[in-house]
Amino acid sequence: MDIAEKAVSSTPGASILCTAGKGEKPGRFLIQYGETDWEFAARLASRVKAVLYPEVCRHGAYLWFGIPECGEKGVKIEGEAYAHGISSRFYELGGDTSGYKSRDFEYYRVGCGQNHGIGAKTAYAGGMWRILEKHIQLLQEEFRYTYILGRDAYASAKPVYNPMFVGQSIHGTVIKTGGDAVRLHLKIDKKQDVSTAYPYPWVPDTGSFWKVPLRFAPAEKCTVCRKPARRCLCISRMRMSGMP
């Protein structure tokens, strides 16, 4: 949550409203690199299988981190469904290997003249559903609303990775060492506190920790992402005069 708030802090009046991943820690390093605040926040949300929803009823740039809590419960939707089935999202998330059941992605597409908020709960066709999508059209001077009714799993997302990290090297300065890891102040960051610096695993040029001891003076290093934003390693250093 704190990271998500920082991600949008550069936008005046922006704030995150969290309904997913409360209290969860990222577990791995997180670098905003070549991404807008929206793109980075969406990537953060995907870490907890959630998506971003814009808040349209408040003044300011509010983003829901997960399904919105609009305060509407037990709304009545008077309209006939013109689509019903299993969303393709079930298969996009991995089908039977995703940990979900196909019935978790059952949905109804319903059209009506009543205006309700995304996240509202409703009884429909003998079951309890939530409004997870909302589309508005102006037809003959009257607003018509189309809703997607589904279960929470319908709003799940696959983990999103930053493709710009593939093969990327980011230079930084070693500010602390310990064990087989180094903490870096990356050049892309204006400030970096030692206590919050990420401990990157270090792989020496020889590929063997037994042959090269982990001894550094303050010097330039680089981190290289082997897979899209999944694993970063400190793999080399720029030699300085007097260094072994």
Q: Which of 18, 33, 65 is the last residue of a domain?
A: 65
Say whether both 144 and 192 belong to one domain: no
Same domain? 177 vs 150: no
Q: What percent of the chain has pLDDT over 90?
A: 27
Q: Which of 26-35, 39-48, 82-91 has the least mean pLDDT?
A: 26-35
178 inside domain = yes
Q: Say if 76 falls within a structural domain.
A: no
Mean pLDDT score, 15-37:
75
Domain termination site, one of 110, 125, 155? 155
Mean of pLDDT values over 114-123: 92
Structure pTM? 0.70
Q: What is the pLDDT of residue 122?
A: 93
User: Do 101 and 146 fall into the same domain?
Assistant: yes
Q: Are residues 148 and 170 in the same domain?
A: no
Q: How far is CA 190 from the centre of its chain?
A: 23
The residue that leads in pLDDT, 91 or 186, is 91
- CA 112 to CA 182: how far, in whole Å? 58
- Cross-strand pairs, 186: 172
20 domain-assigned: yes
Bigger pLDDT: 244 vs 186 = 186
Does residue 215 surpass a pLDDT of 50?
Answer: no
* Domain-embedded: residue 244: no
More confident residue, 41 or 111: 111
Q: In the predicted model, what is the mean pLDDT of residues 39-61?
A: 83
What's the rounded Cα separation, in Å, for the pair 169 and 225? 7
Q: Are residues 91 and 41 in the same domain?
A: no
Q: Is position 7 within any domain?
A: yes
More confident residue, 200 or 214: 200
The more confidently predicted of residues 150 and 2 is 150
Task: Kindly state whether residues 148 and 85 are assigned to the same domain.
Answer: yes
Helices and strands, number each (H, E), in the chain: 3, 13
Q: Are 24 and 59 contained in the same domain?
A: yes
Q: How confident is the model at residue 238 (pLDDT cuts 50, 70, 90)?
A: very low
Q: How many distinct structural domains can be found in the chain?
A: 3
- Which residues make Cβ contacts (< 8 Å) with residue 106, sequence separation at least 6? 84, 85, 86, 87, 150, 151
Are 88 and 123 within one domain? yes
- Does some domain include residue 243? no
Domain that holds residue 177: 166-237
Tokens of 127: 């079951």
Flag whether 242 is in a domain: no
Least confident among 135-149, 155-169, 174-188, 206-220: 206-220
Show which of 155, 185, 207 is a domain's final residue.
Answer: 155
Per-residue pLDDT at 223 exceeds 60: no
Q: Which token pair is 132?
A: 């997870």
